[in-house]
Amino acid sequence: MNVYGPDALLKNVHEKGLCVGCGACVDLCPYFKNHKGKTAMLFPCDLPRGRCHAHCPKTEVDFDALSLKMWGTPYAGSPLGGYGRAVAAKAGKKMPRGLFQAGGVVSAIMAFSLSTGRVDAAVLTGRKGLGPTAGLATRPDDVFAFATSKYTAAPTIAALNRGIREGFSRMGVVGTPCQITAVSQLRSNPLESADFTDSVCLTVGLFCNWALDTRKLIALLSDRVDVKKILKTDIPPPPADIFQIETEDGRIDIPLQDIRSMIPGGCRICPDMTSEWADISVGNLEGEPGWNTVLIRTEKGEEIVSDAAEKEWLFTREMPRENLVHLNRASAKKKKTAVMEAAARGLLNTQSKDAHAALRMDTDTAEEIIGKEEG
């Protein structure tokens, strides 16, 4: 993996409009901070190599390295990434009633992990008004405050960075594909520190097509909505084509075309729809609003899901084949579009000395992804 410093981060990510505000560089040090969804550098830092650059999921991401670490094999570019089994699931009887997104599986998994001590702190994303917040939950009950989906790019990994400094050693992280990628890079000890220890023991990835820029969304909505009264936000599956905001005073629908311009540039080169580097990946189950799709990828993930199901924190059933096919197709499409976009912008496997690649993968693999028929 090529690791550079914060100047390279500014030049290759910020100045190219690729920053998605995932928080991977935030609170590692005094220089990068996030405010209202935007990450900024407060003062100049001249280190030639830094963790900020190493962890960032939008520059010099080495897909082979990620794949070798997780699977022992190079990156093959399959639509959904590697996984053990796919199930449909929802929160089980043991989960208290609450406001969840879809099946509430993510909240259930995290609450279960905390209650069984598998995890000592959960890195979760909250919301204040329309702005996302990064937080740590240490008790199962705390998880519910973070429930429901946030569609704005959130600096979640900042909470992980804080948690590591505070001494938590078995953390669970819930994140979007870019955030999970950052976590995976972090866990590989890219700066080769002698006293590095892995403080993360569970990653739950979310399905994601794109996120929205917080500030732009706030600007659009703040006179249409009292942000203090927002309960949850949702993007129902096509053909709905709307962004839904549920508030205490009722529901507001915004046409998706009004918000597409708020998608950060970094989302457009993201080839990962289902968080391929997580232990467990969770998304909606198309056609069944109260359920989630769950991809159980690793042994760790399998162990937790099975145990949670047995202890009635989760309820799982077979995933309908049709859904899996659709999921494959949608994921392949995102991957293809993203890799093509990256290639077109000179961000794929860049060889130039002055510019860095955002994504690095085997050229044959990249060609295969691009050449795949949408079908």
Q: Which residues contact another protein (rule: CB under 8 A)?
A: 28-31, 33, 35, 38, 40-47, 49-52, 191
Our CB check for another protein shows the closer of 44 and 117 to be 44
Q: How far is the CB of 97 from another protein (least distance, A)?
A: 36
For tokens 């209650």, name the residue. 115
Our CB check for another protein shows the closer of 35 and 251 to be 35
Q: How far is the CB of 119 from another protein (least distance, A)?
A: 25
Neighbour tally for 295: CB within 10 Å: 27
Q: How far is the CB of 347 from another protein (least distance, A)?
A: 23
Q: How far is the CB of 355 from another protein (least distance, A)?
A: 23
Q: How far is the CB of 10 from another protein (least distance, A)?
A: 12
Our CB check for another protein shows the closer of 194 and 238 to be 194
Signed CA dihedral, 215, 220, 225, 226: sign only:
positive
What is the residue-wise DSSP string for 234-256? E-PPTT--EEEEEETTEEEEEEH
Distance CA 145, CA 154 (A): 16
CA atoms within 13 A on the CB side of 69: 19
Our CB check for another protein shows the closer of 265 and 320 to be 265
Our CB check for another protein shows the closer of 49 and 69 to be 49
Our CB check for another protein shows the closer of 21 and 177 to be 21
The answer to whether the beta carbons of residues 61 and 22 sit under 8 Å apart is: no
Our CB check for another protein shows the closer of 42 and 240 to be 42
The answer to whether the beta carbons of residues 197 and 169 sit under 8 Å apart is: yes
Our CB check for another protein shows the closer of 41 and 68 to be 41
For residue 294, what are the β-bridge partners?
87, 282
Neighbour tally for 299: CB within 10 Å: 10
The answer to whether the beta carbons of residues 298 and 79 sit under 8 Å apart is: no
Is 137 strand, coil or helix? strand
Q: How far is the CB of 44 from another protein (least distance, A)?
A: 8
CA distances from 357 to 34, 187, 320 (A): 24, 21, 38
Query: How open is the CA angle 306-312-313, to the nearest 5 degrees?
Result: 80
Q: Does an H or E element contain 126, and which?
A: strand 121-128
Q: How far is the CB of 35 from another protein (least distance, A)?
A: 4
Signed CA dihedral, 102, 152, 347, 160: sign only:
negative
Distance CA 120, CA 280 (A): 18
Cis peptide before 44 (omega within 30 of 0): no
Provide the token pair at 243: 């962004």
Our CB check for another protein shows the closer of 40 and 240 to be 40
Q: How far is the CB of 225 from another protein (least distance, A)?
A: 17
Our CB check for another protein shows the closer of 38 and 333 to be 38
Q: How far is the CB of 52 from another protein (least distance, A)?
A: 8
CA distances from 49 to 91, 192, 346 (A): 43, 11, 23
Q: How far is the CB of 41 from another protein (least distance, A)?
A: 7
